[in-house]
Structure 1
Amino acid sequence: MTETERPRLPLIEICVEGIDGLLAAQAAGADRVELCASLVEGGITPSFGTVRTALELATIPFHVIVRPRGGDFLYSEAEYRSMLADVRALAELGVAGVVIGCLAADGTIDEQRMSELAQAAGSLNVTCHRAFDMTRDPTEALESLIRCKVGRVLTSGQRDTALEGADLLADLVRQAGDRIIILGCGGLDPQNIAEVRRKTGVSEMHFAALRDVPSAMRYRNPKVGMGGTDLDREYRNTVTDEVLVAATIAAARA
């Protein structure tokens, strides 16, 4: 499916980690995928081997997050240069879109960097991720993104969940009009997704349907971990739950 072929609304985007997540999301009926690495950090740029494999296997469009690290969205000059290089490389590979976000220290959108990244993306779809939810003034931030020629913004209405942020999401949909797409997110599941759609009027919705599964490793070393203090993390994998994706999509369109 191409980006110009409009599926039945709401359009559903699934946030996934890696190839297996993409395959699960598209098998469950997703319209689009946001392809990431390390969702435990909120998503960072996946490897280009991952992106190339995704291009070979994907039957739906996918957008690639360009985020060099976890943490805040105030980047050093070297980090920003790496983001520009990633966007240009992804454009050459032919992905459907990129997902970016840069803030200034005062909590505003960094318009110079966002404009340059959008320009580097060329004809790709450009989404601002939830860096938007960390801005000091969402009304001002939305106008900034429009000036930067960003095509959509991922937001929970500056709250932890879309239900909590529903009033602001509805305001943003009205403010956006047909100038930018509001991609609603934040704790969406089969129990609440229809209510959020009804309250906000968003035409596109985004969620990650994840579950932990035990590692298939038979040998386990209990004395060492690969980071942090959770020694069991090396023997627990987080995957996209195909059944939950399908159930949430069905609930959104019921």
Structure 2
Amino acid sequence: MPEFTPHVRSAAVDAVAGSGVPRAERDTRARVARLILENGPVTASALGERLGLTPAAVRRHLDALLADGMIEIRRARPSASRGRGRPAKLFAITDKGRNAFVHAYDDLAASALRFLAETAGEHAVSEFARRQLADLEERYAPRLRDLPPQERVYALAEALSADGYAASASKAPHVLGGTQLCQHHCPVAHVAERFPQLCEAETEAFARMLDTPVQRLATIAHGDGVCTTHVSPVKAANEESGGISL
């Protein structure tokens, strides 16, 4: 699948901040948007701490991004620890903001896959997706193979982030068990919206690399804010399959 190359990063900066903004201001604004993209809904104070910006500077960039429709305001759900105070104001990326980070060749890729589907059938698109993921799997697998099973998903998240997927891994909710892999950016989200075979092939590759069943719970291509994959505990998975790895 396409990687988040330096050329695309440069184009994203221009798309997020606008060409009429001074370079230093433009780069900082793009970094603010990037952090919001990678970390999901986040507070202004958290952004300031991560970037070393004053509250006034953060507010200036957030106001500009809000005015351009790149981000939106959400309210955090009240919690017992917060009491009855006003809900915290969170900033989240919008579809327009995410589009600024989308690969520049989306339209060409969609047209090519559409042609492939029309001339060779949908199964050809699935085969194409698997071959594309084979390259990614070939690069990632050696990093994961010798790691303890419980560490592989975290190493996979690091590898995906290095390729621009803004990925993270954490323990899944107790009711599910296992771990959860989140991708806050998808370079082919708009193409995958039309061709879900791309997401399916990626999920299959994750299962092979992690050597345990995985389940895609949400995708950016389907309108969710994050691509979320549940990774089953390796021990439980092996017990269910009679001790045979997938």
TM range (shorter): under 0.3
Higher helix share: 2
| TM-score normalised to structure 2 length | 0.22
Structure with the higher strand share, 1 or 2 = 1
- TM-score under structure 1 length normalisation: 0.22
- Rg larger in structure: 2
